[in-house]
Amino acid sequence: MAPSLAQEKIYTIDDIYSLPDGERAELIDGRIYYMSPPNRKHQTIARELFSSISSYIRSKGGTCEPFFAPFAVFLNEDDTNYVEPDISVICAPDKLTDRGCSGAPDWIIEIVSPGSRRMDYFTKLFKYRTAGVREYWIVDPDRKRITVYDFESEDIRDYGFSDTVKAGIYDDLYIDFSDIAKLLNI
């Protein structure tokens, strides 16, 4: 008889909600990924992007709603996937509950931290695409790069912090990253 392999525990959203106060983690396919607090550069980028997106939606009288982390996204509407994207834009009001978003947001932006690089570029990229996210931006301040995945048109584009980047889910939303670069002195 072959020796049995120890089975890895499958965690659920209940485990996330049972974490001690102040401890943040995400849950992908039943695996817990702990998150460290974001640094000032990360927060500056998140603030500026959220402000631009929120102002744009408000000025257009749009129905989409932007949210910033920590904001619960239950990607697959199951109990083994829970993420807190840096910025989420949800255009379907029926996905919003008092707990967060049930299902895939239309647009997600993740800002890379040293400890999140592999998650943002690989694990979350695959998860967001298969869950039905329409557009995913990876903003990488260390590499001074923005990678835009437009899953609807199967297009991938890379930009620098001196570029203006168009949001694919809108006809006329452009974000000038050179303004953010000035704030960060990069």
Taking the chain (186 residues) in runs of 10, the rounded mean pLDDT of each run is: 67 94 93 93 97 97 95 90 97 96 97 92 96 98 97 96 96 96 91
Structural domain spans, the chain: 38-184
Q: In the block, which residue shows the tokens 């659920």? A: 12
d(CA 69, CA 105): 13
In angstroms, how far is CA 174 from the centroid of its own chain? 19
69 three-state secondary structure: coil
pLDDT at 114: 85
Q: What is the reported pTM?
A: 0.93
Helix count and strand count (H, E) for the chain:
5, 12
pLDDT given for residue 6 in this prediction: 62
Residues 113 and 142: beta-carbon distance below 8 Å? no
CB-based contacts of 80, cutoff 8 Å, min separation 6: 10, 11, 12, 13, 27, 29, 30
- pLDDT for the residue numbered 5: 63
To the question of domain 38-184 being in CATH 3.90.1570.10, the answer is yes
